[in-house]
Amino acid sequence: MKFFKNYSLMLLPLLVLPFTSVLSLEEAYNRYDFPPEFVFGSGTSAYQVEGAADEDGRTPSIWDVFAHAGHGAAGDVACDQYHKYKEDVKLMKDIGLEAYRFSISWSRLLPSGRGPVNPKGLQYYNNLIDELITHGIDPHVTLHHFDLPQALQDEYGGWLSRESVRDFTAYADTCFKEFGDRVLHWTTLNEANVFALGGYDQGITPPGRCSPPFGLINCTKGNSSIEPYIAVHNMLLAHASVTNLYKKHYKYKQHGSVGISIYTYGTVPLTNSVEDKQATDRLNDFLIGWILHPLVFGDYPKTMRTRVGSRLPTFTADEAKQVKGAFDFFGVINYMAVYVKDNSSSQTQDLHDYNTDMALTMTLFGNTTFGSEHANTPWSLQQVLLYIKETYDNPPIYIAENGQTTPQTSSLEDTTRVRFLSSHIEAVLDSIRKGSNVKGYFQWSLMDLFELFRGYELSYGLYYVDFKDPYLKRYPKLSAHWYSSFLMGTLHLQCSHSVL
Ligand SMILES: *[C@@H]1O[C@H](CO)[C@@H](O)[C@H](O)[C@H]1NC(C)=O
Ligand SMILES: *[C@@H]1O[C@H](CO)[C@@H](O)[C@H](O)[C@H]1NC(C)=O
Ligand SMILES: *[C@@H]1O[C@H](CO)[C@@H](O)[C@H](O)[C@H]1NC(C)=O
Ligand SMILES: *[C@@H]1O[C@H](CO)[C@@H](O)[C@H](O)[C@H]1NC(C)=O
């Protein structure tokens, strides 16, 4: 395209110079300082890259419906990975990725949410998995990335109903049966904590439910006081059911593992006061403990029981037994850190939600010029890894997402992202040396894609995608070159993929 041709001339000297200088930083570490079985990859999710939203039998998910209800852009086409998966696997191979984290679109595989399998959906995921394996890239698969089939939302209210446990288990069973001979790493639910908060308290993510005065949008339905807790409760039961199914029927022959991922913040008490320190502990309990405490110890953290009271569902003795220990690993998602200030005054309100239950105020840490996930705080990731090690008996962890947001521009010279990745990977190495049982690192994201907040305006990608180009051409950024040289110890990307 004309724009690129002209632009590339200007870009040429720029691209070469900073790369040399970035390389000459001479990292104090390299890939071989990590254990050989430690895995480095990059990630995406189905609705954010696949496109082909109503092709070949796929039906809408709650994310499709939410996006089309006027909450910004949608993923109808996205990066069109559904048609370009071979090209994209080649891009991964060019970087030297050892693994690819992607998700299966439940409503592509099972268009009614349960019942008959869609043969074309099945074929697509078989093709993608085979293509990855042919190129030596390990598939790490997520089953639910904010995209419950709308059919189940309509039928019984989705995650608010216990029926979701049965249907999610049947869906996972299909995936284990069809793909489990080649897929060894399964994540049941992506960011169950943030999914529940955004979708059922604030209303800003699918399915967009909330109630006044808590929502950040004008929701037509919902109850912010209780629904986030109910949704997480059912998701925990569903996760446990799937994990126990795998243990019982698949693990002995497939030898894989099953986990769940959570969104986390690094935390700093705003002051040295006892109140702010206690508020910081509460934040960790409410955000991390909400999911991990039941899975490790069989119930929610005490702070949550005390503060949420009867609005927090209870596990029967049998359910507690099912849930406790139902994981092989945890997926940790970390981008940023927050200051935490006690706000006990919110406790005196009549109506309560998650935020007034926690009774604290968060402010973003560091430079957030380009969005909340821009500041480079590698200690934040390390803090979370070591917190989980100490608090939850050092479980195996995969860093499911970590990366930096910048505006989506055609500039391929993302030096801040290179610094971000380089410093965070160093923090991971340091965490391993401090005893964290972390087993892999997945940069977010492989390419610029459809983001939940702000659609196509923000970028996390190693590859720039020209969304104005009908062919959606991909171009490696400096960060792709850097990641590649880190992984392979050599400048490897071919110029044919770049604008040069
Ligand atoms: C919600 O609706 C009210 C009344 O129509 C309007 O004043 C307000 O700006 C809306 N809030 C949001 C976040 O859209
Ligand atoms: C939310 O549920 C609680 C508990 O059932 C109830 O007391 C409250 O009135 C409900 N709020 C709304 C907005 O429906
Ligand atoms: C404290 O919580 C109350 C009630 O939710 C809220 O109105 C107030 O803005 C909060 N204060 C701060 C500093 O966030
Ligand atoms: C914040 O980050 C932007 C983009 O990386 C940079 O241009 C700006 O100078 C930074 N601001 C501060 C105060 O460091």
Domain boundaries, the chain: 3-495
Residue 245 banded pLDDT, cuts 50, 70, 90? very high
* pLDDT at 496 exceeding the cut of 70: no
Residue 350 has what pLDDT? 85
Mean pLDDT confidence for 270-278? 98
Residue 489 has what pLDDT? 73
* pLDDT at 22 exceeding the cut of 70: no
Is any ligand 4 atom within 6 A of the Cβ of residue 409? no
Calpha distance 238→216 (Å, rounded): 28
Residue 404 has what pLDDT? 97
* pLDDT at 44 exceeding the cut of 80: yes
Q: What is the mean pLDDT of the chain?
A: 92
Distant-in-sequence, close-in-space partners of 396: CB < 8 Å, separation ≥ 6: 257, 259, 328, 329, 330, 437, 438, 439
What is the CATH number assigned to the segment(s) 3-495? 3.20.20.80
For 301-324, how does the pLDDT look when each residue is reduced to its tens digit (9 = 90+)?
Answer: 999 999 999 999 999 999 999 999
Residue 436 has what pLDDT? 98
Length, in residues, of the chain: 500
Closest Cα to atom 11, ligand 4: which residue?
367
- State in Å: Cα 372 to ligand 4 middle: 13
Residue 70 banded pLDDT, cuts 50, 70, 90? confident
Is any ligand 3 atom within 6 A of the Cβ of residue 423? no
Residues with catalytic function: 191, 401
Residue 490 has what pLDDT? 58
Calpha distance 357→201 (Å, rounded): 12
Closest Cα to atom 14, ligand 3: which residue?
361
Residue 340 banded pLDDT, cuts 50, 70, 90? very high
Residue 287 has what pLDDT? 98
Q: At what angle do helices 290-297 and 227-249 cross, to 10 degrees?
A: 40
For the CA of 355, the closest atom of ligand 3 is 5
Q: At what angle do helices 119-134 and 163-179 cross, to 10 degrees?
A: 50
Distant-in-sequence, close-in-space partners of 363: CB < 8 Å, separation ≥ 6: 270, 338, 339, 341
214-to-82, 202, 224, 352 alpha-carbon distances in Å: 38, 6, 7, 9
Short-list 435, 446, 444, CA closest to 397: 435
Residue 12 banded pLDDT, cuts 50, 70, 90? very low
Place of tokens 């006027």: 70
This model's pTM is above 0.85:
yes
Closest Cα to atom 11, ligand 2: which residue?
223
Is any ligand 1 atom within 6 A of the Cβ of residue 217? yes
Residue 37, φ and ψ in degrees, nearest 5: -85, -5
- State in Å: Cα 204 to ligand 2 middle: 20
Calpha distance 390→402 (Å, rounded): 21
Question: Which mutation among 201, 224, 361 tests ligand 3's pocket best, with the greatest number of atoms within 8 A of CB?
Answer: 361
- State in Å: Cα 227 to ligand 2 middle: 9
Residue 370 has what pLDDT? 82
- State in Å: Cα 226 to ligand 2 middle: 7
Residue 497 banded pLDDT, cuts 50, 70, 90? very low
- State in Å: Cα 214 to ligand 1 middle: 13
* pLDDT at 435 exceeding the cut of 70: yes
Are 493 and 4 in contact by the 8 Å Cβ rule? The answer is no
Residue 274 has what pLDDT? 98
- Residue 399 tokens read as 């860093």
Closest Cα to atom 3, ligand 4: which residue?
369
* pLDDT at 23 exceeding the cut of 50: no
CB-count burial class (<10 Å; 0-12, 13-18, 19+) for 351: exposed
Closest Cα to atom 2, ligand 3: which residue?
346
Closest Cα to atom 4, ligand 3: which residue?
346
- State in Å: Cα 356 to ligand 3 middle: 8
* pLDDT at 166 exceeding the cut of 80: yes
Is any ligand 3 atom within 6 A of the Cβ of residue 346? yes
Residue 50 banded pLDDT, cuts 50, 70, 90? very high
Residue 4 banded pLDDT, cuts 50, 70, 90? very low
* pLDDT at 196 exceeding the cut of 80: yes
**Residue 138 three-state SS:** strand
- 385 versus 347: the higher-pLDDT residue is 385
Mean pLDDT confidence for 42-54? 98
* Nearest ligand atom owner, CA of 218: 1
Which range is least confidently modeled, 211-220, 279-288, 469-478?
211-220
Question: Which mutation among 202, 211, 217, 218 tests ligand 1's pocket best, with the greatest number of atoms within 8 A of CB?
Answer: 218
